[in-house]
Structure 1
């Protein structure tokens, strides 16, 4: 699935989640936002495990696990953004442009 189109896939995932949900739309949106915290926690857990920070547990994760967890954070944020607005791709692209201009200058 290397050629998986990003935003159409995000839209399909959002639809799949919507179909499975039995909650009101507003509650589902809030829970998708909160899901980000869970995913960020999993990144932290993977980093601790990859570095062996917890001497009782030792090395429990790899840096590839960290990569995977970071991807989960990105995907969860994209689905949450798409749940918030049908214009998620436009909103994200515009925001990326602003950040790039601010950080990298006009020639970003």
Structure 2
């Protein structure tokens, strides 16, 4: 996972550098990056519509592999957004939020009679 966050951080720094060169304020950079998440989600939604062929002009135009690639693009964009907003602790912040959110849904494994969780 460290390699993933290393790459995410490099992407975040590259995009920030490009925006800084264009004199885009930090708040505007964050705003545009969050909107980029929406754009990527829209592409994933469009791919699902394409899988089901519900657009009468296009018919069946996508595969589930296309959907999965678009979902991955959405996840990458979201992580880059977080890294741009929290360049010093994005991975730790994400891990903290993930632990909090997942604790609401994941049930701890029951203990065995000898007290060892299984």
The answer to whether the superposition gives a TM-score over 0.5 is: yes
In the alignment, structure 2 segments of 5+ residues that lack a partner are 110-118
Q: Aligned residue for 1:103?
A: 105
Q: Aligned residue for 1:50?
A: 51
Q: Aligned residue for 1:40?
A: 41
Helix, strand or coil: the match of 1:28? Answer: helix
Structure 1 stretches of 4+ with a deviation exceeding 3 A read none
TM-score by length of 1: 0.89
In the alignment, structure 1 segments of 5+ residues that lack a partner are none
Q: Does 1:26 align with 2:27?
A: yes
TM-score by length of 2: 0.82
Cα distance in 2 between the residues matched to 1:8 and 1:36: 20
Q: Does 1:61 align with 2:59?
A: no
Q: Considering only CA atoms, is the larger Rg found in Structure 1 or Structure 2?
A: 2
More helix by proportion, 1 or 2? 1
